[in-house]
Chains A and B, each alone.
Chain A
């Protein structure tokens, strides 16, 4: 399983497009918002948590269809499905690779982009923590969407339509953590909910994703 993870990581970094693209998109979103909303500092400070979370979420979407599509096209997915490792494990490793190459960079980039949006000082650690806890959920949910649409030629838009509504709970609680952190309020509830959702998603979705892949490989 580790070998699979390393392989996917290497592929993602080498093939390019996935790795830097997500970060670049995140930057673009964060630049566009003040251009659209106006440069007024207080306004930006108030919406910064939400913008950063939505930006991270959208940036995650970009590389989702590549998680499985490439392997599907060249037949490796068939091989992986019949390999001794359970398909659920394969799927988890793919989600992990996506997180390492897309989610994690976003977590690290977020504080820098927070500066652009006038994010209040106390919020920064909460920004990083909430993204750190929430982004694995984004990868796992995204992998499920990718599993559903892997057989489709132009499944990208459909993938977004399927996945984005499922991102809503993570988004709400994640942004809430940052908002409350900015004001110094208690963050325990949203933080626990965020963690719970990620834990539940990581535990259960690989089974659904594996089932969907098996259906698509028939």
Chain B
């Protein structure tokens, strides 16, 4: 029972249709529980006041923004090496989700900094890196949209994802270098698990699980749509030829 079986579109469609309702239910439950718990049932922080409640959105979203790009990187590699269409289409399907996660991470991150810095945006290294990541997501999505032929698009976007990953990493270091002088140590984010009280950690972990499941469910759904869209395109092309 190898994972490569799911590279077969038909098998993927069958399996995902069975899994999707469960994934959706679990995602909904975890997100609801995590966010409601975090929003309504956590105490205010001594220093940050009620803005600490933002972590239940910010941390999971930021985590997903990165993880989704990594998933796209892996599936792009699988496409380039093993030519499984499901893999390429999964990357295509995941990108908008990653872009939205990055946006949420950006917005919540900026808003979270408002009490600390008094402005609605600050060029904190973390936020800046996420802004650049958002641009990489946009470019990737735009390239998929711009190219007619499905396989060509898959190939080019895969190469872009590979090269882009290297530059995204480089940018992270460059941006840290760029802003290291200003905010030593006063970094915006609260790394999960470091000195965080369990009152916050527990709902945070639930929310993180919720976001992960949300991504899984949504990407399964979207990949199914992409597989159908590809088949639709092929059939319509055949219709045109036969007409």
Residues of A within 8 A of B (CB): 144, 148-149, 151-152, 155, 158, 161-162, 164-166, 168-169, 172-173, 176, 189-190, 193, 197, 205, 208, 211-212, 215-216, 218
Encode B125-158 as 1/0 by CB contact (under 8 A) with A. 0000000100110110011001100001001100
Cβ-defined contact, B177 with A166, below 8 A: no
Task: Tell me what chain B mostly uses at the interface: helix, strand, loop, or mixed.
Answer: helix
Contact of A168 among B132, B143, B155 (CB under 8 A): B132
13 further interface pairs, Cβ-Cβ under 8 Å (given A148-B156, A169-B174) = A148-B159, A151-B147, A152-B147, A158-B142, A158-B146, A161-B135, A164-B135, A165-B132, A165-B164, A165-B167, A169-B167, A211-B159, A215-B155
Whether A169 pairs with B139 at a CB distance below 8 angstroms is: no
Residue B162 is within 8 A (CB to CB) of chain A in the complex: yes
8 contacts across the A-B interface (CB closer than 8 A): A148-B159, A158-B142, A161-B138, A166-B164, A166-B167, A172-B174, A189-B177, A216-B152
Return A134 CB to nearest CB of chain B, in Å: 12
CB neighbours of B167 from chain A (8 A): 165-166, 168-169
Taking CB atoms, residues of chain B closer than 8 Å to A205 are 163
User: Is residue B209 contacting chain A, with contact meaning CB distance below 8 A?
Assistant: no
* Residue positions of B touching A, CB distance < 8 A: 132, 135-136, 138-139, 142-143, 146-147, 152, 155-156, 159-160, 162-164, 167-168, 170-171, 173-175, 177-178
B178 lies within 8 A of A212 (CB)? no
Among A162, A208, A211, contact of B143 (Cβ-Cβ < 8 Å)? A162
Q: A148-B156, A151-B147, A216-B152 are in contact. Are A193 and B174 (CB under 8 A)?
A: yes
A14 and B156 CA atoms in complex are apart in Å by 32
Are B163 and A161 in contact, CB atoms less than 8 angstroms apart?
A: no
CB distance from B71 to the nearest CB of A (A): 19
Partner of A208 from the list B138, B146, B159, B173 (CB cut-off 8 Å) is B159
Can you name the residue of chain A whose Cβ is closest to the Cβ of B80? A211
Per the bound structure, the CA–CA distance linking A173 and B167 in Å amounts to 13
Nearest chain-B residue to A150 (Cβ)? B156
Assembled-state Cα–Cα distance A92/B88 (Å): 29
> How far is A56 from B97 in the complex, measured between Cα atoms in Å?
34
Most buried by B among A151, A158, A215: A215
B135 A155 Cβ-Cβ under 8 A: no
Nearest 10 CB-CB pairings of A with B: A169-B174, A172-B174, A165-B135, A169-B170, A215-B155, A166-B167, A162-B139, A168-B171, A172-B178, A161-B139
Report how far A172 CA is from B174 CA in the complex, Å.
6
**A166 CB contacts on chain B under 8 angstroms:** 163-164, 167
Q: Which residues of A contact B156 (CB under 8 A)?
A: 148, 212, 215-216
- Closest Cβ neighbor of B136 among chain A residues: A165
Measured in the bound complex, the distance between the Cα atoms of B138 and A86 in whole Å is 32
Complex Cα gap A90–B159 (Å):
19
- Nearest CB of chain A from residue B235's CB, rounded to whole Å: 22
CA distance A144 to B142 in the complex (A): 16
Q: Could you tell me the distance between the alpha carbons of A151 and B178 in the complex, rounded to whole angstroms?
A: 36
Task: Evaluate contact between B142 and A168: CB separation under 8 angstroms.
Answer: no
Nearest CB in chain B: distance from A194 CB, A: 10
- Cβ–Cβ contact B159 & A212, under 8 A: yes
Chain A residues, Cβ within 8 Å of B159: 148, 208, 211-212, 215
Is A193 a contact of B147 with CB atoms below 8 Å?
no
Min CB gap A160→B, angstroms = 10
Complex interface: chain A residues within 8 A of B162 (CB): 208
The answer to whether residues A148 and B152 also contact, given A168-B171, A197-B170 and a CB cut-off of 8 A, is no
Nearest CB in chain A to that of B169: its residue: A169
Do the beta carbons of A218 and B152 come within 8 Å of each other?
yes
